[in-house]
Amino acid sequence: MSENEKIILKGLDLKELENWVTEIGEKPFRAKQVFHWMYKQGAMSISEMTNLSKKFLKKSDSKTVISLLKIKLVAASKIDDTRKYLFQLKDGELIESVYMNDGKRVTLCLSTMVGCNIGCPYCATGLMGYKRKLTTGEIIDQFFVINNSEDNPITNVVFMGMGEPFLNYENSIKAAKILNNEAGPALSNRHITISTCGIIPAIKKIADQGYRFNLAISLNGSNNRQRDELVPINTKYPINDLLEAAKYYYKKIHRKITFEYILIKDFNDTPEDAKRLIKMLSSLPCKLNIIPFNENSHVKYKCPDENTINKFMNLIIKAPFVVTIRRSKGQDISAACGQLYAEHS
């Protein structure tokens, strides 16, 4: 049987696995066993599932695929405990994922697309162009391959890698649900964050569907002129409309949204920007992350100097909502926010 004819199990939920085992003449309880082995034990083939019958193993092993990613390269930071994984997919395309170890908190930054179709000029991924969406299996396989490769297990997942998760909504949400499942990795809702550049229909959709994963929105501008340049989708979903969608989400879910604000030299780093942000967000229960820009060779923007950053923070910290400054990890291996750019060698 060719690879293209095999059944891809990674990414199937319990109901889909039950349909599959029934189709091959097995009892539905086998689905729970396969689910446990794939998503709890991290098995990468049917043959690893030792409590399944020999008949089932023989019938299924050569006809199924579980492992979808191949590690092509691992880059380790010399300044912190961060590693960037370059993965090759079955069709030869490449994606990157970032593993960040902070002691008790171990975070994985997941990709949801090959490239990105938003085209933010500050982001190296956006300059790659867009190739395709990742399947649910390809999204979660990043978690399992890396978790199997590292000594310290992953405790938190952020959908902040390559691609816009809300433009791959169904696969991203399904992946988050599998990671959240008690019979699988059992990551709590609060340990799963989905980051969006501001796709308003999807923000309302996730609110209406009642999913309680953390939501982060890349704001990056204190007015529409700035945001139109940095986040081109803002021309379709401008700031005022985005804030209304954020309020709608909060009323439905009762969970604070995190706004991300990348601080860029001579662009959005002035005292006036800080004051506008305070005014803009004060009516919404939220958290604001200030991220000094991570420079890379693919883009023109620069990081403000420390004096400018300090002046900005001294003003914004007076806001009536939580404000933090986030220094991205893995900058020396281009693993920080906005630096992911998977290249063929």
So which residues are the catalytic ones? 96, 337
Report which of 193, 187, 98, 90 is spatially closest to residue 138, judged by C-alpha positions: 90
Pull the structure tokens for residue 170. Answer: 């169904």
- Torsion over CA of 215, 218, 219 and 224, rounded to 10 degrees? -120
- Nearest-angstrom CA–CA distance, 187 and 180: 5
* β 130-133/322-325 pair status: unpaired
- Nearest-angstrom CA–CA distance, 329 and 107: 11
Neighbouring-strand partners of residue 94 = 88
Residue type, 172: S
